[in-house]
Structure 1
Amino acid sequence: MTNSDNSLRSSRSNVTMATLPKTAVPAGIADPVESARAELKAALAAIEVKGNFPRRIDKASKRAVGKARAFADRNPAAATAASVALAAVVGGAVWVIARALSR
């Protein structure tokens, strides 16, 4: 079964693949070959989820942006102060690195 066949029912079990997470193995598979295929598919999906760093970074940055926007909506003065402080820290770090490299 491929990823595009998630909505198809397994011939040996009455569990649909669409109701389970991508990394789960359905219970009740009696055939050892089908069980091994389901375990391999789940293991490969788990490796893909854990190993796909660009996707994980994208999701984490979207969460951070959402939290920052919610914080700015609740407390605009603190958000402005945090932005100025962050800019000062980044500017200071760039200055220190540039000075160290120029010596």
Structure 2
Amino acid sequence: MSIESPVPRTAVPLGITDPVESARAELKAALSAIEEKTNLPKQVARKTDEVVSSARGFARRNPTGAAAAVVGVAAAVGVIVWGIVRLYTR
């Protein structure tokens, strides 16, 4: 009894004996891989989801540290903006 697992879009299914079907499957997989690699909005969305999930996990494990990180980032952004405005107004 074999267990069928879904084949990713970027992979070629095993067991194709017809050379034409094999070439089509390879071309389809190659085009899908290129699309995955060059789809910048999709990559950004995926990375953003990972970062948000990681930040939420950190906030659940260490709420005090998360609050301190938020305050630190806000202070850093404030100092950067203040510095830019100060340089611009001189």
Q: Normalising by the residue count of structure 2, what TM-score does the alignment of the two structures yield?
A: 0.82
Match of 1:42 in 2: 29
Deviation at 1:76, TM superposition (A): 1.1
Indicate the structure whose relative CO is greater, using CA pairs within 8 Å and at least 6 residues apart: 2
Runs (4+) of structure 1 exceeding 6 A deviation are: none
Where in structure 1 are there 5+ consecutive unaligned residues? 1-15
Take 2:23 and 2:14, find their aligned partners in 1: how far apart are those partners?
12
Where in structure 2 are there 5+ consecutive unaligned residues? none
Take 1:40 and 1:49, find their aligned partners in 2: how far apart are those partners?
14
Take 1:51 and 1:22, find their aligned partners in 2: how far apart are those partners?
15
Take 1:36 and 1:81, find their aligned partners in 2: how far apart are those partners?
56
1:27 has 2:14 as partner:
yes
- Percent identity reads 55
Indicate the RMSD between aligned Cα atoms, in angstroms: 1.8
Q: Normalising by the residue count of structure 1, what TM-score does the alignment of the two structures yield?
A: 0.73
